Amino acid sequence: MPLLELKGVTKLFGKLAALEDIDLCVQEGEVLGICGPNGSGKTTLINVISGYYRPNRGTVYLEGKKISGLRPDQVTARGIARTFQSNMCFHRATVLQSMLIGSFLQDKTNEWQAFFETKTYKERRKKIAAEVLETLKLLDLTNEANMPAAGLPHGHQRIFGMAMALMTNPNVLLLDEPTTGMNHNEAVFVVDQIKKINERGITVILIEHNMKVLLDAATRAVVLNFGTKIAEGKPREVMKNHDVIEAYLGTETV
Amino acid sequence: MPPAGILVDGLVQSCIYMTMAFGMVLVFSILGILNWTHGQFYMLGAFVVYYAVTAAGIPFPISILISGGVIGGLGMLVGRYVIERVNVPGLGLLYVTAATVALNFFFEGGAGMAFGLEDKGLYNALPGVLDLGSFSVSYQKIAVVIFTLVIMVAMYVVLNFTKIGLAIRAAAQEPGAASLYGVSVGRLSIIVMGIGCALAGMAGAIMAPVYGVNPFIGGLPLIMALLAIIIGGIGSLTGAIVGGLILGLFSSIVPYYLGYISELALFLTVITLLIVRPQGLFGVPIRR
Amino acid sequence: MKFGNYRKLLPKIVVGLLIALIFILPVFTTSLVTLSKFVQIGFWAIAAMGFMLIMRTGQISLGQATFMGLGGYTSAVFMVKFGLPFWPGFFMAGIVAGLVALAVGVVAVRAGPIAFSIITLALAEIMRIIAVSWEPVTNGSKGLVITPPTHIMLGNFEINFATSAVPNYYFIVILVAITALIFWQIDRGRLGGIFRVIAVNPTLAEHQGIPLTKFKVLAFTVAAVFTGFAGSFYAHFLGVMSPDMYGLWQSIQALMMGIVGGISSLVAGPIVGAAVLNSLSDILSRLPVYSIKPTLFGAIVLLVLLFLPKGTGLIDLWRIFWSKVYKEKPITTDNTH
Amino acid sequence: MKKSYNIVAILVTTLILSVLIATACGPKTPAEPVSTGPITINIGVCAAMSGPAASYGQLGQETVDTFLQVFNRQGFKVSNQTYNFNVITADDQANSEGGSAAAKKLVYEDGCKFIVGHWTPNFKAVQAVTNPAKVIFFSHTGADAVPGPGGYDPKTMPYVAFPVAAHEVVVAYIFGIAEVNPNYKKIGIIDTVLNKGIGWDNADKQMDEKGIRYFHQFTQPNTANYAPFITKCAEEGCDFIFTSDVAAALAIVKQRWDMGYKDMRICCAGPITSPARWIQLAGYDAVQGLIVSSGAVWEARNRPLNADQIAMLQETMGLLADKHNGSFTYTGWIPWTPTQLFILSQAMQKAGTVDDTDALMKVIRGGTFDLPTGQYAFSGAQTYGSPVVMMTGIIECQIQGDKEVYYSQYHLPPLP
């Protein structure tokens, strides 16, 4: 049974269909790359999965349970984390502070325990702090831990986004163009991070405009165009696919 | 079916609420904030026209335009020196709300100190009554309706056929897009503040003869415009107009049946509507 | 270094002295007027704190007067109509205010931050109209005459609220202290962090798994409960509960005091704001100039918002003052930490 | 940026410190007029200075100040020592909190032994302060001057003296209207819900007994649009509309004209400050035949006036008229506070004391006083132990052209 499954998902903005009955299966442990020209509905797809949008038609299943129509926080609680295309951070908070608050889902203590700072609460916080530091180490952000997140250089902000997503200890991680505006080395670095994350048994859905990154990182690729799925398969084969080249050349010639 | 007189009266109310709500939504669509000072611009507009007519002896129709200009300018100043300065990214909404609410009382008190507290009247602008058999309407009220129609048509033309208007609509859709029309968003927001406040000022001006003028007339139109926006859906111009229409008729018909409980009924209706449809009639849902 | 701790210490000492002074004030004066002024300040401080707590979650409530009024009316009706003593009414006041806030909050929060302000405003209007119109229970605009809390005997020492102002003074001081402690604890704990995060970047917060509605409603309710307590006590202090006390202007006053005191701080700011604005209105009420009060209040709030760095208020001048004393560069506090 | 921000910071700090210090040792004692001969007695006035009610407060204060100029010329003698009145005004923000604070200031800081509130909605809050302090409080808030739950209770409020109960006055107006226009169809009463309650119930009862045909409606305070209520009245077949609120009357006069109910006559329980004002607000034609009643009890018609007090009031009106450059016949309101001052001064003379409030109240309750509208005794039965009179004896007057024309033989003629 697939970990994440989309059945006939359609999202309309007014008349325009950003997604038109998309069927998609994501197997556990894979890195699924989703690519396509601009405005082909990649980000909409992530927004639908993460619960930010409600699909007009169709449903999203996680481990066979329907999650479409839930609020983003509920979806996240069920183990789907995401990053954003633009750099998101908590205004004026340092990386460490952001991640401590961001790991809300991990401390299971209720508000009373938090208010009175009971023993269990303190212990949870300690554990979380340790976890945060570990994640930072994993993503080589340790040096930036005490910098205000908003002040980080672009590349690090993308990584920071991933770190925040990881703090919700997800089963599925949706990455929205993690390498935008990066030079080659940074991109490579990010790809390594993605691989590392994947090795921890986290299924990754990677939205990527940059074909090269896709080829390196993804184990399977899906190509969207005008909100419909035009190709699916091993990255290399997909790249050879006639429609895909059409789509890309088409958009590029415009 | 209530008598025609009530309906006509309701129509007059709705005209004012429409104009107010329209201006507020226009500002909202660009700046993303509600201008809580709008009611006081209405009040100040009324005062401007009062003094223009009585002190300066300028004919009423012209002084309406004058008050529109003056209040528009004032609105621009407020937009430039208050709203822009406090509208910081992140928590701008909070600061702007606080600032405009404070400004609201600043203007109210200031007007009280400057112009005095007791009612002033302008009955001799367009005096006379048009008799329509079963009921009759004063020319002043007819003027209100005509004026509102003119304003609406004008706004339609501006928004659809002028560069500024297209820029406004583009910016309302997608912030940045205004630059396509060679207008910077900063300038656009000032202009929009000007237009919105001018609308409020002229609404106050045209209403000045109908009800008296005093520093406290701004409160009711503000609240009604806010409710109209809520009903119509925040950020939707159509919604503002429809909401104003509904609210005006409502606020004239319901008292006819319910007496002094009507205001309560009004507020409760709005809240019920929100429970059923949080985004209002024409608004886009909060959760898409 | 030694100079360093001394530098840290001195401001703390001054604050401590101030607090101590507040607690022993009745030793110096038992004048009804002075103490009543302090009671007034305390009441408004609580109201402003409630407002700030809601503002922490990125929403502006323009209906705080509703909860003062609810509190006051609940205890007043309990006392006048059902003949209950002060205390049950007092606690019922908080509970009722909380429940109403819970019910309204769920609706209002769902409609987004801008609609929230409008709905709370409408709520205040609704409450006022009900208070004026529901003559048999609220006694209309004439208001309900209520007596201060019954006197308490401690051994042979009597605390009599009716005859002297000192018990009222201590009552409000303790009420403010409790509220302040609870809010302070909320602010520095996990809740405070979550509130700020919700205000600053709701989208990200939501995708970190933080349920926005829950926490926004929580803040609204907690604020309402304490405002309700304050309102209940204040009604007893004034000896009358009438609708005119709880209109739009009162809600706005809570806002103004919060803003003037300083958005950065949840506890000290409102207290300072309440003290300053109440003292000011006290002076203004003597000038034979009509409607100067709203003008000046509005002006002050504007000045604070325009000319102090964003997210700070008068309370931050305190830090600036010390930093000037010690030639440090000014510490600008911020909203998220 | 940083520099300006420091400067502003320092400026604001100094401002706040000054404000706080100013309140700490604020104006405890008001500026006493240095008078060698007559001794000045401080009278506190709670008036609304902010908010929509402020206009009432302003009018009231203006009149009192002007009146005192006239009154203090002779002052009054108690055991051959001349006394003057001095009025200290404090802002009750037309709400309980403000009222309570103002009363405390007046009583405990300025040591006023007497408080005469002009129109103030928070009589309750003020009396909660004044009664324990044994301070005599003359209130105008007739709406509360009704016995019963939440109303006026002479036993618990021994130091409160009322003018005539508002609804006595209202009934008097309506009787007056009915008597002057015997062939009226129906009187529509439009009143703000503020006055709803036991008072109006009594008034309705009295009107029923007298067989008055009326139709009663309530509106929310400061309503702007009266069209629905006027229409209702018209459908009920009312040819008179009575309202006890001047602002409402102004609105209704205009709006009923706009709606074409030209033959519908409006009656207002309140003064004509000046016909010109009404004409300016509602239009010349619309105000023709407007009936304005200045309150007194119904019997006040057939009492002889007190000539020299009337003279004082007329002089006051004259001064006010000059101030407002133009005819200013403030007939209705001028006597409110002055009458109370007359009562006070006479009570002091009778009791032979100026500060023993118990003695004064003993004299006031059940005493008889010379007032602009003649001799009045406290008839507890009718007005709950309060003075009946507060106004001149004008029962009805109506606007004809740009003048007031009075039905009653007793009136202050409008000044040129």
Q: Can you give the pLDDT at residue C253?
A: 92
Whether C and D touch (3+ CB pairs < 8 Å), yes or no: yes
Question: Of all residues in chain B, what percent carry a pLDDT higher than 90?
Answer: 48
- Contact check, Cβ <8 Å, D228/B119: no
Whether C and B touch (3+ CB pairs < 8 Å), yes or no: yes
- Contact check, Cβ <8 Å, D55/B9: no
- Strand A65-66 relative to strand A57-62, pairing: antiparallel
Distance from CA of D165 to the nearest CA of C (A): 14
More confident residue, D150 or C177: C177
Distance from CA of C60 to the nearest CA of D (A): 23
Q: Can you give the pLDDT at residue C270?
A: 92
Q: Can you give the pLDDT at residue B104?
A: 93
For residue A116, what pLDDT band results from cuts at 50, 70 and 90? Answer: confident
Give me the residue from C189, C204, C211 closest to A115, CB to CB: C189
- Contact check, Cβ <8 Å, C208/A104: yes
Tell me the residues of chain A between 2 and 61 that have a Cβ less than 8 Å away from chain B.
Answer: 52-54
pLDDT tens per residue across span C102-160:
999 998 888 888 889 999 999 998 998 888 888 888 887 778 888 776 777 666 677 77
Residue C298 domain-assigned?
no
Q: How many domains is chain C built from?
A: 1
Q: Can you give the pLDDT at residue D328?
A: 60
The average pLDDT across B10-23 equals 93
Placement of tokens 């509102």 in the chain: B148
> Chain C residue with minimal CA distance to B85?
C306
Residue C295 domain-assigned?
no
Give me the residue from C234, C241, C280 closest to D19, CB to CB: C280
Q: How many domains is chain A built from?
A: 1
| Chain pair B-D, CB pairs under 8 angstroms | 93
Yes or no: domain D167-294 corresponds to CATH 2.60.40.1250: no
More confident residue, C203 or D60: C203
Q: Can you give the pLDDT at residue D3?
A: 52
In chain C, what residues touch B94 (CB-CB under 8 Å)?
Answer: 55, 58, 60, 199, 263
Residue D299 in this model has a pLDDT that exceeds 60:
no
Highest mean pLDDT among A64-68, B40-44, D44-48, D367-371: B40-44
Q: Measured between CB atoms, does B287 come within 8 Å of chain A? A: yes
Among C49-63, C82-96, C286-300, D133-147, the range scoring the smallest mean pLDDT is: D133-147
Please give the torsion angle defined by the CA atoms of residues B166, B172, B177 and B181, in that order, rounded to the nearest 10 degrees: 20
pLDDT tens per residue across span A14-57:
777 888 888 988 988 889 999 888 778 888 898 899 988 888 88
Q: Measured between CB atoms, does C327 come within 8 Å of chain A? A: no
| Degrees to nearest 5, angle at CA D118 with D113 and D119 | 140
Helix (H) or strand (E) holding B287: none
Residue C292 domain-assigned?
no
Please provide the DSSP assignment of A201-215 as one string.
T-EEEEE-S-HHHHH
Q: Can you give the pLDDT at residue B40?
A: 95
Its CATH architecture, for the domain D37-164+304-388, is 3-Layer(aba) Sandwich (3.40)
Q: Can you give the pLDDT at residue C332?
A: 45
Give the tokens for residue D26.
Answer: 């604020």
> Chain D residue with minimal CA distance to B5?
D259
- Contact check, Cβ <8 Å, D124/C240: yes
Q: Measured between CB atoms, does C284 come within 8 Å of chain B? A: no
How many other β-carbons are positioned within 10 Å of the β-carbon of residue C317?
Answer: 23
For residue B258, what pLDDT band results from cuts at 50, 70 and 90? Answer: confident
Q: Can you give the pLDDT at residue A227?
A: 84
Longest dimension (CA), chain C: 69
More confident residue, B156 or D6: B156
For residue B198, what pLDDT band results from cuts at 50, 70 and 90? Answer: very high
The average pLDDT across D342-356 equals 87
Q: Can you give the pLDDT at residue D388?
A: 37
For residue D334, what pLDDT band results from cuts at 50, 70 and 90? Answer: low
The average pLDDT across A115-131 equals 88
The correct CATH number of B4-276 out of 2.40.360, 1.10.150, 1.10.10, 1.10.3470 is: 1.10.3470
Q: Can you give the pLDDT at residue C52?
A: 93
- Contact check, Cβ <8 Å, A54/B90: no
Among B4-8, B84-88, B141-145, D21-25, the range scoring the smallest mean pLDDT is: D21-25
pLDDT tens per residue across span C183-219:
999 998 889 999 999 988 888 999 998 999 999 999 9
For residue D30, what pLDDT band results from cuts at 50, 70 and 90? Answer: very low
The average pLDDT across D366-393 equals 57
Among A9-13, A247-251, D276-280, the range scoring the smallest mean pLDDT is: A247-251
- Contact check, Cβ <8 Å, A52/B90: no
One-letter amino acid identity for D58? Q
> Chain D residue with minimal CA distance to B113?
D50
Highest mean pLDDT among B29-33, C192-196, D117-121, D317-321: C192-196
Residue B100 in this model has a pLDDT that exceeds 90:
yes
Among A66-80, A156-170, C309-323, D208-222, the range scoring the smallest mean pLDDT is: C309-323
Tell me the residues of chain D between 148 and 177 that have a Cβ less than 8 Å away from chain B.
Answer: none
The average pLDDT across B135-154 equals 91
> Chain A residue with minimal CA distance to C182?
A115
> Chain D residue with minimal CA distance to B115?
D55
Residue B84 in this model has a pLDDT that exceeds 50:
yes
Tell me the residues of chain B between 204 and 243 that have a Cβ less than 8 Å away from chain C.
Answer: 215, 219, 223, 226-227, 229-230, 234
Q: Can you give the pLDDT at residue D412?
A: 42
The average pLDDT across D142-155 equals 62
The average pLDDT across C243-249 equals 84
For residue D176, what pLDDT band results from cuts at 50, 70 and 90? Answer: confident
Mutation pick from B106, B115, B266, B286 vs chain C, by most beta carbons of C within 10 Å, is: B106
The average pLDDT across C17-36 equals 86
Please provide the DSSP assignment of A95-129 as one string.
HHHHHHHHGGGT----HHHHHHT-HHHHHHHHHHH
Question: Of all residues in chain B, what percent carry a pLDDT higher than 70?
Answer: 97
Residues 6+ away with beta carbon under 8 Å from D359: D351, D353
Highest mean pLDDT among A49-53, B87-91, D26-30: A49-53
For residue B152, what pLDDT band results from cuts at 50, 70 and 90? Answer: very high
Give me the residue from D193, D250, D257 closest to B260, CB to CB: D193
The average pLDDT across B59-68 equals 93
Its domain, for residue C99, covers 29-247
Of D345, D360, D372, the closest CA to residue D81 belongs to: D345
Q: Can you give the pLDDT at residue D26?
A: 47
Residue C227 domain-assigned?
yes
The average pLDDT across C244-250 equals 85
Q: Measured between CB atoms, does A91 come within 8 Å of chain B? A: yes
Among C188-202, D71-85, D395-409, the range scoring the smallest mean pLDDT is: D395-409
Give the tokens for residue B155.
Answer: 């706004």
Among A158-162, B69-73, D4-8, D132-136, the range scoring the smallest mean pLDDT is: D4-8
Residues of chain D with CATH 3.40.50.2300: 37-164+304-388, 167-294
Average pLDDT score, chain D: 75
- Contact check, Cβ <8 Å, D193/C141: yes
Distance of alpha carbon B42 from alpha carbon B45, whole angstroms = 5
Mutation pick from A111, A117, A147, A157 vs chain C, by most beta carbons of C within 10 Å, is: A111
Tell me the residues of chain C between 207 and 236 that have a Cβ less than 8 Å away from chain A.
Answer: 207-212, 218
Q: Can you give the pLDDT at residue D326?
A: 64
Residue D399 in this model has a pLDDT that exceeds 70:
yes
Distance of alpha carbon D232 from alpha carbon D206, whole angstroms = 23
Q: Can you give the pLDDT at residue D269?
A: 75
Q: Can you give the pLDDT at residue D393?
A: 42
The average pLDDT across B227-237 equals 88
Q: Can you give the pLDDT at residue D365?
A: 76
Q: Can you give the pLDDT at residue D143?
A: 57
Q: Can you give the pLDDT at residue D19?
A: 58
CB B129 within 8 A of CB B136: yes
What does DSSP assign to residue C245?
Answer: G
In chain C, what residues touch A72 (CB-CB under 8 Å)?
Answer: 206-207
Of A238, A232, A229, the closest CA to residue A21 belongs to: A229
pLDDT tens per residue across span D231-261:
999 888 888 898 887 888 888 988 888 888 8
Question: Of all residues in chain C, what percent carry a pLDDT higher than 70?
Answer: 92
Its domain, for residue A70, covers 4-43+53-253
In chain C, what residues touch D10 (CB-CB under 8 Å)?
Answer: 324
Give me the residue from C185, C208, C211 closest to A102, CB to CB: C208
Of B8, B24, B39, the closest CA to residue B241 belongs to: B24
In chain B, what residues touch A54 (CB-CB under 8 Å)?
Answer: 287-288
- Contact check, Cβ <8 Å, C337/A93: yes
For residue D1, what pLDDT band results from cuts at 50, 70 and 90? Answer: very low
CB D97 within 8 A of CB D121: no
Q: Measured between CB atoms, does A71 come within 8 Å of chain B? A: yes
Q: Measured between CB atoms, does B118 come within 8 Å of chain A? A: no
More confident residue, D162 or C264: C264
Whether D and B touch (3+ CB pairs < 8 Å), yes or no: yes
Q: What is the pTM of this model?
A: 0.90
Beta bridge partners of D398: D291, D405
Residue A48 domain-assigned?
no
Residue C284 in this model has a pLDDT that exceeds 90:
no
In chain B, what residues touch A91 (CB-CB under 8 Å)?
Answer: 89-91
The average pLDDT across D358-364 equals 83
Q: Measured between CB atoms, does D254 come within 8 Å of chain B? A: yes
Residue D24 in this model has a pLDDT that exceeds 80:
no
Average pLDDT score, chain B: 88
For residue D81, what pLDDT band results from cuts at 50, 70 and 90? Answer: confident
Longest dimension (CA), chain D: 80
Distance of alpha carbon C281 from alpha carbon C298, whole angstroms = 12
Q: Measured between CB atoms, does B108 come within 8 Å of chain D? A: no
Neighbours of chain D (3+ CB pairs under 8 A): B, C
Give the tokens for residue A109.
Answer: 């203590």
Q: Can you give the pLDDT at residue D378?
A: 66
Q: Can you give the pLDDT at residue D389?
A: 38
Give me the residue from D224, D260, D283 closest to B135, CB to CB: D260
pLDDT tens per residue across span D373-384:
677 766 554 444
Q: Can you give the pLDDT at residue C326?
A: 67
Residue D267 in this model has a pLDDT that exceeds 70:
yes
- Contact check, Cβ <8 Å, D104/C36: yes
> Chain B residue with minimal CA distance to A72?
B287
Phi, psi of B174 (to 5 degrees): -145, 105
